Amino acid sequence: MLKNYFKIAIAVLKRRKFFTFISLFGISFTLTILIVLTAFIDKVIGDDYPDKKRDRSLYINRIEENGKDNNSSATLSFSFLTRYAGSLKTAEKMTIFSEFRGTNTYVNNKKISINYKYTDANYWDILEYQFLEGKPFTRQQVDNGEKVAVISADIKKEYFGDVASVVGKYIEADNVQYRVSGVVKSLPITSYMLYSDIYLPYTVSKKAYKGTGYKGEYMAILLAPSKADVAKMHDEYEQVVGKIPMESKEFTEIHSHADSYVVGYVNTGNEKKSGMLYALTAIGSFVFLFMLLPTLNLVNINITRIMERSSEIGVRKAFGASSGTLVYQFIVENIILTLLGGVIGFILSVIALYFINEMNLIANLELTINFTVLFCGLVVCLFFGLLSGVYPAWRMSKLNVVNALKAQ
Amino acid sequence: MYRHLFKLIWNKRKQNFLLMSEMLVSFLVIFAVFTLLVYYYQNYKKPMGFDYEHVWVISYSNGDKNPNGDSLKLFYEILKRDIRAMPEVKAVGQMSPNIPFSSNSMQNGFRYKGKVVESVNDYKVDDSYKDVLHLKILEGRWFNKGDAVAHTRPVLINNGLREKLFGKEPVVGKIIEDRQIIGVVADTKFKGDYTSAGFASYSRIDTSNIHWIDRLLVNVTADAGPAFEGRLYKKVAGYIENSNVEIEHLVNKRKSINYFALVPIIVLSIVSCFLIINVALGLFGVLWYNINRRRGEIGLRRAIGATGRSVASQLVIESMILATFSLIIGTFFAVQFPLLNVFDLPTSVYMTALVLSIIFIYLLVLICAFYPGRQAAAIYPAVALHEE
A16-39 confidence digits (pLDDT tens): 788 888 888 888 888 888 888 888
Specify if B80 maps to a domain. yes
Specify if A105 maps to a domain. yes
Specify if A301 maps to a domain. yes
The answer to whether residues A10 and A158 belong to one domain is no
Of A11-20, A118-127, B245-254, highest mean pLDDT: A118-127
Specify if A299 maps to a domain. yes
Q: Are A228 and A30 in contact (CB under 8 A)?
A: no
Instruction: Give the pLDDT of residue A122.
Output: 92
Specify if A53 maps to a domain. no
In terms of residue numbers, what domain contains A291?
2-46+277-406
The answer to whether residues A32 and A104 belong to one domain is no
Cα–Cα separations (whole angstroms), residue B77 to B71, B74, B80, B127, B128: 10, 5, 5, 11, 11
The answer to whether residues B284 and B376 belong to one domain is yes
The answer to whether residues B209 and B306 belong to one domain is no
Q: Are A86 and A54 in contact (CB under 8 A)?
A: no
The answer to whether residues A155 and A29 belong to one domain is no
Q: What is the pTM of this model?
A: 0.79
- Residues of A near B (CB-CB distance < 8 A)? 18-19, 21-22, 25-26, 29, 33, 101-104, 106, 109-111, 113, 174-175, 206-207, 289-290, 292-294, 296-297, 299-301, 303-304, 307-308, 361
Beta-carbon contacts of A187 under 8 Å, excluding residues fewer than 6 positions away, are A49, A50, A152, A194, A195, A196, A364
Residues in chain A closer than 8 A to B372 (CB atoms) = none
What is the number of structural domains in chain B?
Answer: 2
| pLDDT exceeds cutoff 80 at A136 | yes
Pick from B198, B215, B244: which residue ends a domain? B244
Pick from A197, A221, A256: which residue ends a domain? A256
The answer to whether residues A11 and A116 belong to one domain is no
With CA atoms as reference, report the closest residue to B34 among B277, B340, B345, B283. B345
Instruction: Give the pLDDT of residue A386.
Output: 78
Measured in degrees and rounded to the nearest 5, phi and psi for residue B143 equal -65, 150
ipTM over 0.85: no
Beta-carbon contacts of A383 under 8 Å, excluding residues fewer than 6 positions away, are none
Q: Do A104 and B246 touch (CB under 8 A)?
A: yes
The answer to whether residues A42 and A78 belong to one domain is no
Q: Give the model confidence (pLDDT) of A81-111 as tens digits.
A: 998 988 888 889 999 999 888 888 888 778 8
Specify if A129 maps to a domain. yes
What is the number of structural domains in chain A?
Answer: 2
Q: What is the dihedral of CA B177, B178, B182, B183, to 10 degrees?
A: -60
Specify if A271 maps to a domain. no
The answer to whether residues A281 and A389 belong to one domain is yes
The answer to whether residues B94 and B197 belong to one domain is yes
Dihedral-angle region of residue B101 (phi above 0 means left; psi in -120 to 50 means alpha; beta otherwise) = left
Mean pLDDT of A302-327: 80
In terms of residue numbers, what domain contains B94?
61-244
In the predicted model, residues of chain B with pLDDT beneath 50 are none
Dihedral-angle region of residue A4 (phi above 0 means left; psi in -120 to 50 means alpha; beta otherwise) = alpha
The answer to whether residues B290 and B374 belong to one domain is yes
Specify if B249 maps to a domain. no
Specify if B12 maps to a domain. yes
The answer to whether residues B31 and B94 belong to one domain is no
The answer to whether residues A190 and A99 belong to one domain is yes
The answer to whether residues B29 and B176 belong to one domain is no
With CA atoms as reference, report the closest residue to B57 among A34, A349, A102. A102
Measured in degrees and rounded to the nearest 5, phi and psi for residue B384 equal -65, -45
The answer to whether residues B66 and B90 belong to one domain is yes
The answer to whether residues A305 and A388 belong to one domain is yes
Specify if A293 maps to a domain. yes
Instruction: Give the pLDDT of residue B326.
Output: 92
The whole-angstrom separation of Cα A151 and Cα A200 is: 9
**CB proximity B243 to A under 8 Å:** yes
Specify if B52 maps to a domain. no
The answer to whether residues A189 and A313 belong to one domain is no
The whole-angstrom separation of Cα B324 and Cα B39 is: 26
Instruction: Give the pLDDT of residue B31.
Output: 92
Specify if B54 maps to a domain. no
The answer to whether residues A287 and A241 belong to one domain is no
The answer to whether residues A313 and A376 belong to one domain is yes
Mean pLDDT of A174-181: 88
The answer to whether residues A250 and A281 belong to one domain is no
Q: Between A391 and B364, name the one with better pLDDT.
A: B364
Nearest CA in chain B to A407: B293
The whole-angstrom separation of Cα A14 and Cα A6 is: 12
Q: Are B351 and B274 in contact (CB under 8 A)?
A: no
Confidence of residue A49 (pLDDT cuts 50, 70, 90): confident
**CB proximity B375 to A under 8 Å:** no
The whole-angstrom separation of Cα B209 and Cα B218 is: 21
